[in-house]
Amino acid sequence: MGIALITKDYENTVGKQRMPVIVEFYASWCPKCGMMYPVVERIASRYQGKWIFYKIDIDISKEIAEYIGIEIVPTFVVYRDGKICGYTTGVLPEETLEERIREMLRK
C-alpha cells in the first residue's frame, strides 16, 4: 500500500519529496486512530502517485511528535514543497478529510 511508517530522519523523508506529503500521527492504543485507518488507506489508494502518505506512531517516535508539536491523535499534517501547509485532527468522514487535505494544498 502507499503508506509508509516513519521512525527516524523525518525532515529528509518528508522535506525532500516532490509530491505533497500527508503525515498521520497516531498511537496504537488510540481507538479513534484505528477508526481512521481504513479511511486513510482508501484516500492513499486513490491518490497514489499524486500524494505521499506516511504514518508516525507518537509512542515510537516521541521526538518527532514533540518537534512538530503534536498533542492530539490522530493528527494529519499536510506538507507541500517541504513545508507544513496545514493540519487537521480527529475522526473525520472520508470525504471531509480528503477535502481538507485538498484545501490545505491549494493555499
Q: State yes or no: is 33 an active-site residue.
A: yes
Give Cβ neighbours of residue 34 (< 8 Å, ≥ 6 apart): none
Neighbours of 65 (CB within 10 A): 21
Q: Known catalytic residue: 85? A: no
Which is the catalytic residue, given 30, 60, 84, 85?
30
Strands (E), the chain: 3-5, 21-26, 52-57, 75-80, 83-89
The active-site residue, picked from 21, 27, 33, 58, is 33
* DSSP three-state, residue 10: helix
Residues 26, 106: Cα–Cα separation, whole Å: 25
Question: Distance of alpha carbon 39 from its chain centroid, rounded?
Answer: 12
Catalytic residue list: 30, 33
